Each structure stands twice: as structure tokens, then as C-alpha cells.
Amino acid sequence: MNQEKIMKRRMISALILWLVTLIALLVFIGLYVDETRRVQETYRKQYSTELEHASKEMESFIENKGDLDLRYRRISSYLTCASSYAFLIDGFSREQIVINEVNTCLIKYPEQMSDKMTELKQAIDDINANLDKGYEEAEAVVESVDKLGN
């Protein structure tokens, strides 16, 4: 009889410990999911901010304000940063590829991309406005570049 009481107590203690552990696990999972969501929101905000900066520099570049070479390098820098943030955003693979391609064209083909700055600015503005056509417009700009350098 005494042995049965001890076994019941141990079983009850084990169940209580299991329940407390399960609750703690669920709390930690919830905190992890919430923090992941917040971090993703931060990455999206930074991505959008970098695109806004690039758009402003493109506007100045188009209007021929000041040192165009410096403005062009700033545009490239902002798009490089945007590409880095796009890499960190979950489920953003297509968008990341498009921004990487635009950035690559800016680096490799500055003469051609200087002529396409108006179209690229429109694409970046549409991307920042969360319009799907913005990525299509950016892809069209990339496709219009003569990658053989002719």
C-alpha cells in the first residue's frame, strides 16, 4: 500500500513536471515566432528605406543635379543594401533575384544603365508601392541591357 502511494506521487509529480515543461516549450515557441516576425518586419522596412533612398538619388541623377558619378555610385550602393536586405527576407527569392540583377547591371554596364535611369526609377517606385508590376518593369530594364557590351 505504501509502495502504491509513492508510485502515485511520483506519477503525479512526473505529469506535473511534463505539463510545466510543455507550457514552457509553448511559451518559448510563441516568443520565437513573435521575434522572427518582428525581425522580418524590420528587414522589410530597411529594404523599403533603401529603395526610397535609391529612388531619390535616381531623381537627382535624372535631373542632372551635381556630381553624376557620385550619384550613380550612391544609387548602386543603395541597391546593394536593398539586395542584402532582400536576401534576409523570408519568401523573397524572386524579388531578391530581380534586385540582384538590377544591381549587377548597374555595376557592369554603367553607360547603358545611365540611359535607363528613368525606367529604373519608375520600377523602383512601383516596387516600393508594393505593386507586382514593379519587379516586371525592373526585369524589363535588365533584359534591355546589351550584356555582350555591343
pLDDT by residue (tens digit) across 36-81? Answer: 999 999 999 999 999 999 999 999 888 887 678 888 899 999 999 9
Buried b (16+ CB within 10 A) or exposed e, 58-93: bebbeeeeeeeeebbebbbbbbbbbbbbbeebeebe
Is the CB of residue 86 less than 8 Å from the CB of residue 51? Answer: no
Q: How many residues does the chain have?
A: 150
Residue of 44, 39, 129, 37 lying closest to 92 (CA atoms): 44
Per residue in 105-133, pLDDT (tens digit) is: 999 988 888 888 999 999 999 999 988 89
Q: Is the pTM of this model over 0.85?
A: no
